[in-house]
Structure 1
Amino acid sequence: MARAVAPAIVRAADALTRWTNRVLGVEATAGREQITEAELRELVAVNTALDPDERHIISKALARSTATLREVMVPRTEVWFLEVGMTVAEAVAEAREAGHTRLPITDGSHDDIVGFVHLRDLLWDEQPGRPVRELAREIKRLPASKPVLAALSEMRRERHTIAVVVDEYGGTAGIVTLEDLIEELVGEIHDEYDETPAASDEVDGMLNLADFAERTGIALPEGPYETVGGFLMSVLGRLPAAGDSATLEAYRLTVLALDGRRVARVRLTPVDPTPDAA
């Protein structure tokens, strides 16, 4: 769904930007991120250039815009890195196994990312023994605390498709792509006829809290965690094991599988209310 509406959100955002610039009399790149969410909502409300679908998409995007990159990034433990000394042939094998089109390149440490390579460049290269460092493209760096909407605006403006998310200590916290940001803002579109989660609904343990609520209609309580797996770890007070579960409202979350020490898959099942004692 996110891919289907991505062109709409881009058109809508561009139309809104042009309209804003004309009204405010500013350059296209001057102070765009200084506009507050309330001001943006007001501009959306009065802008007749937007059709109802685009207006709805932007409204959803603004509702999710307070999320930070830390909440939506792919954490470093889940990123496939290429070593700078790899050959093109070795990198192609890694890329195929990873199933990604863009992979960051490191020089000795995951905190020392020197660029990224696109799968297309690897496949088109006619020298399989060439060091992958020679195909490295520049990679952008963004702080983990940066809001999603601001990051999307900056990456589009500077024509970046992938960025390293940097933590407060200057290390690599994770990776985020332009597609990740668009999907976070747009989310999965539901209507009033959508039902509550199925009797047996499985989700990825790395699903962030906002996406979990969007997908299931259930809001996990806030706490010292950012994912479904983190919620289970917090409730259990230890590292989860397969079969562990926790009950939230009328649903039980059960750990189905682990990937190392992290929760990989979680099953969500309704819990029948306990009948009143006679």
Structure 2
Amino acid sequence: MPEHPEHSQNTSKPVRTFLDKLASFISSEPDSCTELLDILHDAHDRKLIDTECLSMIEGVFRLFDSAVRDIMIPRSQMYVIDITRPFSEWIDIVTKSGHSRYPVIEGDNETIIGTLHAKDLLHAGEEGFSIRNILRPAVFIPESKRLNVLLRDFRNTHNHLAIVVDEFGNISGLVTIEDVLEQIVGDIEDEFDDENDDKIVPVKAGSAGPRWRIPALTEMAEFNETLGTALEDNRVDTIGGFVANCLGRVPHKGDTFDIGDLHFEVLRADARQLHTLLVEKKTATPEKNPAKL
């Protein structure tokens, strides 16, 4: 007996669900990640995954597109221990900086002889203690190494710090496993991070003029009032947004650049957001009086 039209099933094309799209993507084996990211964004729009989850997944993809040079701590910002100096001198560096691992040199700044783990200093008072005996081998990697490969190596070798060298073998900086993980989960803060990171803090003047450590979320009005500037951009409210607009991208840790008479250095940033800037205001040098004829 023929089915009544009112009871017949709807023959219109069904809407593809998120799982349908994901299954289709996996089975078709596409050549790029673009389609997968589109599916994940669609899942986010449908509230199947939250914003934090989507951001972390995108961070994983960024590991494949980024190199060590993009996130390394530059040589000028490295805390280095010189074991030719008195013990009391460099132990002060360890206690004040709060890091767990340090590159170790022996007089020559370009020759790293190993790495020191701060926890190994617990044996410093024991008889026969020698700094040389507790040094770990230093790991050297090129600037061009991909972050996904570096993370795998960190996991396999149980190393958490590597020294970065350029194509000529010169030290460019260092990178830690925390720096890599921050590309996925965002900035990782601990008990040693500065408690004044939400305030503008004057620091020792540089060669060109006064300097400040400034949070990226500082309002433009507060920034201009403190530094005596008149920066303006109607599209943003914070100095971090202003800087990102000027560069056309999210700044990387270690980036340096000038905007007018201000010199900027990025102290803290991850793949998604700028966190802290060091800003130096160049002091105008008075012109010399022209020689009289």
TM tier relative to shorter chain: 0.5 to 0.7
- Provide the residue aligned with 2:262 in structure 1: 245
> C-alpha offsets along residues 107-157 of structure 1, whole Å, 9 cap, x if unaligned?
332322121111111134333884321110122211111233332232123
- May I ask how many residue pairs the two structures share in their alignment? 191
By how many angstroms is 1:161 displaced?
0.5
Identity percentage over the alignment? 25
Cα distance 1:180–1:67, how it changes in 2: closer, same or farther (>3 A)? same
After TM superposition, the structure 1 = structure 2 runs for residues 3-152 of structure 1, keeping only pairs within 5 Å, are: 38=32, 42=36, 53-63=52-62, 65-85=64-84, 90-127=89-126, 130-152=129-151
Cα distance 1:96–1:42, how it changes in 2: closer, same or farther (>3 A)? same
- TM-score computed with the length of structure 1 as normaliser: 0.53
Cα distance 1:129–1:71, how it changes in 2: closer, same or farther (>3 A)? farther
Q: Given the alignment of the two structures, is residue 186 of structure 1 paired with residue 185 of structure 2, yes or no?
A: yes
By how many angstroms is 1:188 displaced?
5.2
Cα distance 1:116–1:201, how it changes in 2: closer, same or farther (>3 A)? farther
Distance in 1 separating the partners of 2:248 and 2:127:
49
Cα distance 1:72–1:219, how it changes in 2: closer, same or farther (>3 A)? farther
The secondary structure found in structure 2 opposite 1:142 is: strand
Distance in 2 separating the partners of 1:228 and 1:76:
9
Distance in 2 separating the partners of 1:44 and 1:110:
48
Distance in 2 separating the partners of 1:134 and 1:162:
19
Q: Is the 8 A contact 1:144 1:166 kept in 2?
A: yes
- Provide the residue aligned with 2:235 in structure 1: none
- Compare CA radii of gyration and give the structure with the larger one: 2
Gaps of 5+ in 2: 1-25, 41-47, 189-216, 225-237, 266-276, 281-293
After TM superposition, the structure 1 = structure 2 runs for residues 157-172 of structure 1, keeping only pairs within 5 Å, are: 157-172=156-171
RMSD: 4.4
Gaps of 5+ in 1: 1-22, 24-35, 190-195, 203-213, 237-243, 247-252, 255-263, 268-278
Q: Is the 8 A contact 1:88 1:122 kept in 2?
A: no
Distance in 2 separating the partners of 1:132 and 1:170:
26
More helix by share: 1
The secondary structure found in structure 2 opposite 1:176 is: strand
The secondary structure found in structure 1 opposite 2:109 is: coil
Q: Is the 8 A contact 1:87 1:129 kept in 2?
A: no
After TM superposition, the structure 1 = structure 2 runs for residues 161-240 of structure 1, keeping only pairs within 5 Å, are: 161-187=160-186, 198=219, 199-200=221-222, 216-217=240-241, 218-221=244-247, 230-232=256-258
